[in-house]
Structure 1
């Protein structure tokens, strides 16, 4: 079943690895590096950090079992939905010293990762969608962190690239299944990804499939927009 796609991957190791990648990258930035545009429209590299730091408010609410209290609090401040929350999180931190935002993210995210690992993949935690397995939530975080690492240009070594893409393909296939997307996905013996939806089909390289699932295909890519839309499930 869909969960079988993920059994070989440790969600907590992936979370640690992508957080460490971002931390190494952020630690080496100068003012120009922080100001550089990211792949997230309208966000600089610094804004991506602000988003990650702000997101820990939600992550901790999940762990503390008070997501509905957080949503009510945000609604009182005129923040409704994830898009509003993301933009609000970034705005809240734009005037703060970047060292302070980085320290906030490091501390809060380390706590999130520790607590999730201690709970274990089969435990449950509170989310906006209701109770959800910790391991699957961690895999969603893994995907988000890997996506944002690519958004800001954090390096990926040649030794880790293949394995990183492989788990990201699996998470994308799982997310499509979980959302009951009207798309069929198969992997060939050559590791290509064959996609079919609404009478259309395409064969993608694994990294192209990953980029489609997170809405990061480059402008001008020749994938039919209808297929690209059907595959977008993690962003």
Structure 2
């Protein structure tokens, strides 16, 4: 199987894990607020359905996606949130069915993209493999919000390596979002896999700036699902410390992050 097929398989499995959490919920439960300010469980699933549709559009109808970019440009601050809010109004059973159908459609679309094709997106264009990786990341992050809401567990798996990889790769992106110049210093990331004794590694072994710890906590950091102080990560070196405060692997405006646990402050949702 190709890399894209492997990633799409992980994307499908990650969505199925979240599906297991929401499939048995009562309709009223879908209106439960999540840690993402202003977003219910329906918003979380609706956003994933909406984004899967956009990814399918990019992969199958580039001109149609260009038109969508024009619509987004008219209201960039609210375009994504409006899509989630609209989806959240759909009756839960219908929304769940549409999300399931959309997941199957985007999976088929991505494995059909010709090799070497760059897909337009709301951020930089990307390959089908990168698009699948981004869908894994976002599905896991929103799934974590739902799990936190329900007091449930979203068992970490080796699929988190995809999330960690995009987290490392978007180091410069986070600086640019904040209007800062990305550092040129090497960064070493060493993460303990969640379901084995494997160590996942990025960057030169002798780098002074380092992030080490559980892969799950690193993924929580780069998706802004936990405040840095709530994570069991060891961050050393001034550039690594600075990055840990702004790390962001999702497209859009700079995220506001999450308040430390136990705080009464509101939280961002991306």
- Tell me which residue corresponds to 1:46: 42
- Residues 5-61 of structure 1 show CA distances to partners (whole Å, capped at 9, x for unaligned) of xx7992111111112122222211113431222232221111111212222342233
How much has 1:93 moved relative to structure 2?
2.8
1:33 aligns with 2:29: yes
TM-score, normalised to structure 1, is 0.75
Out of 152, 155, 164, the residue aligned to residue 169 of structure 1 is 164
Instruction: Please give the alpha-carbon distance, in whole angstroms, between the structure 1 residues aligned to 2:4 and 2:44.
Output: 30
Residues 48-127 of structure 1: pairs in structure 2 closer than 5 A: 48-63=44-59, 64-66=61-63, 67-75=65-73, 78-80=74-76, 83-119=77-113, 122-127=116-121
- Tell me which residue corresponds to 1:233: 249
Q: CA RMSD in A?
A: 3.5
Q: Contact (CA 8 Å) 2:171, 2:243: kept in 1 or not?
A: no
**Unaligned 5+ runs, structure 2:** 176-181, 193-197, 236-240, 251-269
Seen in structure 2, the aligned counterparts of structure 1 residues 168 and 52 have a Cα distance that, compared at 3 Å, is: closer
Instruction: Please give the alpha-carbon distance, in whole angstroms, between the structure 2 residues aligned to 1:188 and 1:68.
Output: 38
How much has 1:139 moved relative to structure 2?
0.6
Moved over 6 A (4+): 177-180, 192-195, 222-225
**Unaligned 5+ runs, structure 1:** 1-6
Q: Aligned to 1:125, what secondary structure does the other structure show?
A: coil
- Residues 79-133 of structure 1 show CA distances to partners (whole Å, capped at 9, x for unaligned) of 32xx512210122133321222222222222111111122266443232346421
Q: Which has the higher contact order (CA 8 A, sep 6+)?
A: 1
1:184 aligns with 2:217: no
Q: Contact (CA 8 Å) 2:119, 2:125: kept in 1 or not?
A: yes
How many residue pairs end up in the alignment?
220
Residues 133-152 of structure 1: pairs in structure 2 closer than 5 A: 133-152=127-146
Instruction: Please give the alpha-carbon distance, in whole angstroms, between the structure 1 residues aligned to 2:191 and 2:214.
Output: 10
